Structures are given as C-alpha cells and as structure tokens.
Amino acid sequence: MDLGLKDRVALVGASSQGLGRAIAKSLAREGAKIAICSRNSTTLEATRQALEVETNAKVISVVADLSLKQDIEKLLGTVQAELGAIDILVNNTGNPPAGRLMDLAESDWEQAYQLVLMSAIRLIKGVIPSMRERRWGRVINIATSAVEQPRGDLLISTTFRSGLAAFSRAIAADLAHHNVLIHTVCPGVIGTDAMLNLAKNMANTEGITVENAEEKLTFGIPMGRMGEPEEIANLVTCLASDKLNYMTGQTITMDGGKLTVPLKSAYADASRKIKDD
C-alpha cells in the first residue's frame, strides 16, 4: 500500500535510539526524507549512517537539546535548509524523572516542563505556518499510557504528557481546515533497550531471572507481553500518511489492552499476585 509519504520531510525528536529511531526508520522506509536529533552526537551519527544503509533514504542528523529554545530554533533552521519545509513532525523526548509528589524537586518539574511540554509547543509553532500555507501537515506526539490511566509514581510524565495531549486536542480544530492533522500516541510497556535494561537491573536487584522481571513489568497486560517499538512506529507512520485523513485531535493508546481491564479487577489481581509471591 502506498502511504503517500515519498519525499515528505519528517522531523523525529529523540531519535538516536528507542521509539524515535523505530519511527524514523518506518517513515524512511516509506520514502520520506528524515531528520533525526539527539544530544549525543556519537550515537546520533551512528544511527544516521545505519538508517541510510537500512532504508536507502536521505537522513540528516542534528545535535540538539530539545529542552533549550535556541537548540530548537537551530534544529528547525537546519532541517528546512537541508531538506526543505517540514511535512511531518513527531514530538518525542526522553522520559523525565520517575517519582511521587514528595520525591520530586522543583528543578525536576522545571526541567521536564521545558523538555516534554515546551519543546513540543515550540516545535509545533515552528512548523505550523508552513504546513498551513501548503495545506498539508502531520503532527504526532509520543506520550504515555499514563495519560489515560494516571500514575502517581510517574507523576511528572503523567502531568506534562497529559497536558500535551490536551493542548493538541485544543488546537486540532483550528488546524483541520488547513489539512494539518494532529494526534497523540500513548504507548504502554514497550520493549525498547531502556525497558529491557530495566528488566535486567530488576533481575539483578531482586535475585530473579530476566524472564521473571519481564513478567512483572507486563503484569496486568491482557496480551501478556511488551509491545515492539516497530508496532508504535507502524501506527505513527499510518497517522502521518494520506490514508487516515478523516480524523484529527485523537489520543490513541497502544498498551496491549491494559486499559480494557477494569481498575478494580486489576487491583484484585495485583493483590492476589503479591500474596502468592
């Protein structure tokens, strides 16, 4: 199926590894020209070279800290100068610190505000004028399933990524008339390198096998497994295409069905699991 993405210019945030890399690769395979960015220049350049070999697409890399306004301005200027006007923007960032209310310092909140929320707002404001003028644009935000099921132990991420989803829905109607569509994708437990390393660290700390650690991380997920980064990337690529033109402003959760489990049932299952252990 031709998704209509050949020669479209896509900018993917935090894309040297993990979900960002998978999304960049998926878009590149559909013929898009790709701009990737990260703070780590060594990893970023290695990823750029690998993506070009794997996809035969045009890929550029820009070192940027998305929490800094000046880096975002440099990023946008570089992409537009080297690839042209941006058609597809994927707002993706690293995760802010985990923790509950009394565990978090004010500096944690301020840094995450700039990284998670303000980076997306600045990037969106930077690409929207050109998208409206050309009457074609796609913006996809990568959030978390905690948007739909808030978590007290991931309070910062829950707060700012929920704010990003609300922001996107609020501006969707104004953009729709110009054929600029915006969505928020909320992944659950996804088997990125970071998540797999978490399982290994958990196994070492608790004296259990890696398989047992992964079972704990996926407990309560009806499909009984982690999602694959490529599965998130496939969804993002479809949303960026010409095949889903009659929807915008949506918050879409991909979590293996976890949100379908009633909270009361989930708590009961968790309690039984703790007693069994």
User: How many residues can be counted in the chain?
Assistant: 277
Q: 184 and 220 in one domain?
A: no
Asked whether residue 209 falls in the same domain as residue 232, the answer is: no
Tokens of 112: 């995450």
Sheet holding 180-187, edge to edge: 59-63, 33-38, 9-12, 88-91, 137-142, 180-187, 250-254
| Domain ranges, residue 264 | 9-190+227-276
Co-location of 57 and 135 in the same domain: yes
Q: What is the pLDDT of residue 262?
A: 72
Question: In this structure, is residue 1 part of a structural domain?
Answer: no
Same domain, 124 and 204: no
**How many other CB atoms are there within 10 angstroms of residue 64's CB atom?**
24
Residue 62 lies in a domain: yes
pLDDT band per the 50, 70, 90 thresholds, residue 46: very high
- Tens digit of pLDDT for each residue in 186-205? 999 999 999 999 999 999 99
91 inside domain: yes
Residue 52 inside a domain? The answer is yes
How many domains is the chain built from? Answer: 2
**Would residue 2 count as lying in a domain?**
no
Residue 132: predicted pLDDT: 98
In a domain, 118, yes or no: yes
- Same-domain check for residues 48 and 138: yes
Q: Cα(273)–Cα(277) distance, rounded to whole angstroms?
A: 6
Read off the pTM. 0.93
Q: What's the mean pLDDT in 238-250?
A: 97
Q: Which residue has the tokens 């998926």?
A: 26
For the chain, what is the radius of gyration of the CA atoms? 19
